[in-house]
Structure 1
Amino acid sequence: MAEKNQEVGGNVISKSIKDEDGEFVWEEGPNSFQPTPAIVKTAHELGISSELVLADGSLPRFVYWSGSGAGTKLANLHALPTNLPGDLLSFNLLTWPGKIRAGLGAIGLIKPSPQPPYEESIREFVTRHLGVETFERVIDPFVSGVYAGDPDELAMNSALRKIHRLEGLGDFGPGLVSGAINRFKEIADEKSLNPPDPEWRTYKSGELGSFRRGLQTLPIAVSKYLGPSRVRLGHALKSLDREPGGMFVATFDTEEGEKVIKAKAVALTSPTKTTSKVARKLVPEAKRLEEVYSPPVASVTIAYPKSSFKDLPGGSPSSPLRGFGHLLPRKMGIRSLGTIWSSSLFPNRCPPDYELLLTYIGGARDRGIADMSEADIVDRVNKDVRKVLLKDNAPDGKLLGCRVWPVAIPQYRRGHKEILEELERGEGKVEGLYLGGNYRTGVAFGDCVGFGVEEAKKIKEFLKKEGKVRAKQEA
């Protein structure tokens, strides 16, 4: 395993610090994952199951919204429904006309989908199904929070392909509800055919996961399992070639100069620009990865005293935050994309007198974030947090981290599916080369882990096959 940085994990970066107030633990890249069999199995095999922590799945996810016909909520924080249809009675983020429009669309009273090759954007698909209100108040902030993306550019069939698939999956028309019913049946069948090992850590639907010391616990454990002789840090991939005999030749820039590593198989999980540059000689189709745009995003972690917070839904003076966090629709005019309530989710993220907040800002609709100083970014985030969560006289918080990612989350825009299909065809012509990364797997941490597990199986089979071929040749 070769890593450009001086520690493993890539963009998965967990930090901690101890000061006079106690210890703080935070993330500067991905912040959590939805538990999957791939993750809990991997954690079990690495001996870190005891480090897994799971957030209560009943904790609400909030959307900040004020005015435009929406009902009133404490601090203007509307909890998204988790118990349908019961929660709809108290869910007043949508007006009654908005709810009726969404309900009719959900059962299938919609316009037909456009014919291929046209790709609907997320805005077009959601508006066609559920109406403008649902898009602006629920889906738009979700897209900002997950992709930091522009819903007018993101292709529904690539960015939210699981939801897109529901339109054609149901037995009772094109409605998402009918499709979801059949999808639940599929999930139940998948679980019955592949039951979890009783030794794995169990989890419930809706929970979010992490590790006690942060997400980087997983790549660190993988590194320890492999051992120092098989982990090369500070190795920046410069080129990739192949000898006539079939061995791959990877050339790296290191502090000690140029180094060459030969291998029978290569799994390349670098960012799109790097993969496009180093893989195009072997896979010409990789050149198209240059077309995949990844906007700048900044992650800012600030701890505030518990006494600083307003009265918030479900909160109390001793525990003012009770929820996953809040998302910010672009219509509300707040620059930040959303804030994760880290200390509400996972234990021991900060001292007892504090709450820990992780805010993301920037993205495809705010590219100017790349030209701002870190001080200005932190100031903007602090003002946004104050508007939503803090009392007017709250003191300054404790800044723990500000990391600006000039190239952050790959955008699955129109044409992305075609790029990946071309890449797959080209990759298939080069046995032993496996191209991966969040531009291909899905952007979530769990998607990347699951993809890696499946790719490892393919690599194992390839090496086994190669071993048999070489044994015959030598005989």
Structure 2
Amino acid sequence: MQETDIVIIGAGLTGLSTAFNLKKAGRDVLVLEKQQRIGGQICTYIDEGFTFESGPNTGVVSFPEVTELFQALANECQMETARESSKRRLIWKGKHFHALPSGLISAVTTPLFSLKDKFRILGEPWRKQGTDPDESIGSLAQRRLGRSFFEYAVDPFISGVYAGDPMKLCTRYALPKLYNLEANYGSFVRGAMAKVKEPKTDRDRMATKKVFSAVGGLQHLVQALAKNVEIVTGAQDIRVRPDGEGMWKVSYADTVISCHHVVTTVGAYALPDLLPFIPQEQLEPITRLFYAPIIQVCVGVRDAGALRLPAFGGLVPSKEGKQVLGILFPSECFEGRAPEGGALYSYFMGGARHADYLQKSDDEIRQMVIDAFHEMLKYPSDIEPDMIRIFRHEHAIPQYYADSGERLRAVADLQQRYPGLVLAGNLRDGIGMGNRIHQAAEIAATI
């Protein structure tokens, strides 16, 4: 029987970041991964001169821990922040993309919002505070900002972040910072102004809110995190159980490992097989978590001519009835993602409201992408993409609905009942890369 201090299950960003932090603190760590590769959803490809991601494309420096992690990895991996031009966000309406307002003049002149709501937004600081702690993002947005702001700003934003339905996602869990602006200050505007005035330490300022990737692609971040960590890939049929003497037994294939701590970073759906000693009724509040499926299609054009759009990407409101949730423009955000004069796009389809798209054939998906290529990006009919790569993710993004409170209480109860067991990953604490890095740092510090 092998012995170690801590076993981490899952070699995605959460697991690798946790292992890196623990290793840096001098702890003995072993990471088990059932796949033959590390990185979880993160995977960078280089093909025909294009560098693209099959999973997450970007993160946000939303916590100091993100900056600190890249500083610690400086010799192995460099953070790359998005170009200034990529701060521009586009929203589809009618037959064109329109820029989201970035100032007073553009807010007044934009065709995205109704005249009534443009005036209505002026009264937001004095609008009555909500009383439902489980209010959906959609309900909150319409109540405080108006219907057109919901339809052409909030709804496409939620499609871009969660690939979800804003009328089902609970603000308190899915967008806690937004929820707290109203809960603590009575208004989004007043809360945002108060936040700006709050004193910040040098460490607070490390959370720059900038969009980031890694130079050369996010796979470089994964490889840097894994460099000095012991990892077993291809570890099938992993099972965890307490040994009754304050230790844990983790088994896979013909191997059994004894350890003091076990950190799981797998999806909620994988927990019953992983933790067979926990009764199903205790896990059910966790395992019922729904994951929106996503199809990501990477499209490369060698000669984009004058059709390149200086923007982060374009989002599509559900009201517009399009087959794509949005199109990201990675080559406008970061260097070296496309050949000189070319462009790289990432199309996103499916999501919580179109889960059936996952069953469409590659030919159907390819045709949907080509149609959007011509209609939405305005490429002439005689120009076709030079590269199309399709990636399917059955369990892409967890949806934080109103029952998330039950899930979080169940996690806390199980961790208290079984000391040494930590249930981590995106089933709690947020879905972005910044959230994963922040959670990993907190877990390592706690252990």
Tell me the TM-score normalized by structure 2. Answer: 0.87
The one-letter amino acid paired with 1:182 is: A
Aligned to 1:242: 242
State the partner residue of 1:464. none
State which of 348, 351, 356 in structure 1 corresponds to 2:336. 348
Q: Does residue 212 of structure 1 match 2:200? A: no
Question: 284, 303, 315: which is aligned to 1:306?
Answer: 303
The match for 1:286 among 263, 283, 286 is 283
Q: Does 1:233 align with 2:233?
A: yes
| Aligned equivalent of 1:15, options 35, 45, 57 | 45
Report the equivalent of 2:267. Answer: 271
**2: CA distance between counterparts of 1:95 and 1:389?**
25
SS of match in other structure, 1:47? coil
Cα deviation per residue 1:255-281 (whole Å; 9 max; x = unaligned)?
Answer: xx4432222111100011112442362
**SS of equivalent residue, structure 2 residue 366:** helix
Distance 1:204 1:267 in 2: 29
| TM superposition shift of 1:376 | 1.4
Distance 1:50 1:452, change over 3 A: closer
Aligned mates of 1:285, 1:45 — CA distance in 2:
39
Structure 1 residues 88, 330: CA separation in 2 closer, same or farther (over 3 Å shift)?
Answer: same
Matching residue of 2:116: 97
Q: Choose which of 36, 58, 64 in structure 2 pairs with 1:6.
A: 36
Q: Which residue of 2 aligns with 1:32?
A: 58
For the pair 1:61 / 2:89, whether they are aligned, the reply is yes
State the alpha-carbon separation in 2 of the partners of residues 219 and 159 from structure 1. Answer: 26
Structure 2 Cα separation of the partners of residues 361 and 426 of structure 1: 36
Which secondary structure state, in structure 2, belongs to the residue aligned with residue 16 of structure 1? Answer: strand
Q: CA deviation at 1:382?
A: 2.1
TM-score (normalised: structure 1): 0.82
Q: 8 Å contact 1:51–1:212 — kept in the other structure?
A: yes
Tell whether 2:326 aligns with 1:338.
Answer: yes
SS of residue matched to 1:326: strand
TM-fit CA distance, 1:244: 2.1
Cross-structure match for 2:189: 177
Tell me how far apart the structure 2 counterparts of residues 446 and 280 of structure 1 sit (CA, whole Å): 31
1:390 aligns with 2:378: yes
SS where residue 407 of structure 1 aligns?
strand
SS in 2 for 1:107: helix
The amino acid that maps onto 2:46 is S
Aligned to 2:347: 359
Q: Which has the larger radius of gyration?
A: 1
Offset at 1:282?
4.6
Instruction: Write the letter of the residue equivalent to 1:114.
Output: T
Alpha-carbon distance in 2 for matches of 1:391, 1:26:
21
Aligned pairs, number? 414
Q: CA deviation at 1:43?
A: 1.7
Aligned residue type for 2:125: I
1:130 paired residue among 145, 151, 156: 145
Counterpart of 1:137, as a letter, is Y
Note if contact 2:429-2:435 (Cα within 8 Å) is conserved in structure 1.
Answer: yes
Q: 1:236 to 1:103 in 2, by over 3 A?
A: farther
- Residue of structure 2 equivalent to 1:140: 155
Per the alignment, residue 72 of structure 1 pairs with none
In the aligned structure 2, how far is the partner of 1:415 from the partner of 1:330?
24
Kept in 2: contact 1:43–1:49 (CA 8 A): no
CA drift at 1:375: 2.3
Amino acid at match of 2:101: P
Q: Which range is displaced more, 444-453 or 55-64?
A: 55-64
- Structure 1, gaps ≥5 residues long: 67-74, 197-201, 309-316, 460-475
- 1:269–1:374 Cα change, 3 Å: same
Q: 1:152 aligns with which of 167, 175, 178?
A: 167
Aligned counterparts of 1:91 and 1:260: Cα–Cα separation in 2: 62
- Distance in 1 of aligned mates of 2:179 and 2:125: 15
> How far has the Cα of 1:390 moved from its partner?
2.5
Take 1:404 and 1:421, find their aligned partners in 2: how far apart are those partners?
Answer: 32
Contact 1:14 / 1:27 at 8 angstroms: preserved in 2? yes
Between the two proteins, what is the percent identity of the paired residues? 26
Q: Say which SS state the counterpart of residue 250 (structure 1) adopts.
A: strand
Between 1:89-98 and 1:141-150, the stretch displaced more is 89-98
Distance 1:343 1:394 in 2: 22
Q: Deviations over 1:153-207 (max 9, x none)?
A: 111111111101111222xxx2211122223344x43x34x367xxxxx7854x3
**Distance (Å, rounded) in 2 between the aligned partners of 1:394 and 1:307:** 13
- Alpha carbons of 1:420 and 1:395: their partners in 2 closer, same or farther (altered >3 Å)? same
3-state secondary structure, aligned to 2:298: strand
- SS of match in other structure, 2:126: coil
| SS of match in other structure, 1:139 | helix
CA contact (8 A) 1:102 1:134 kept: no
Partner SS state of residue 414, structure 1: coil
Residue 49 (structure 1) shift:
7.0
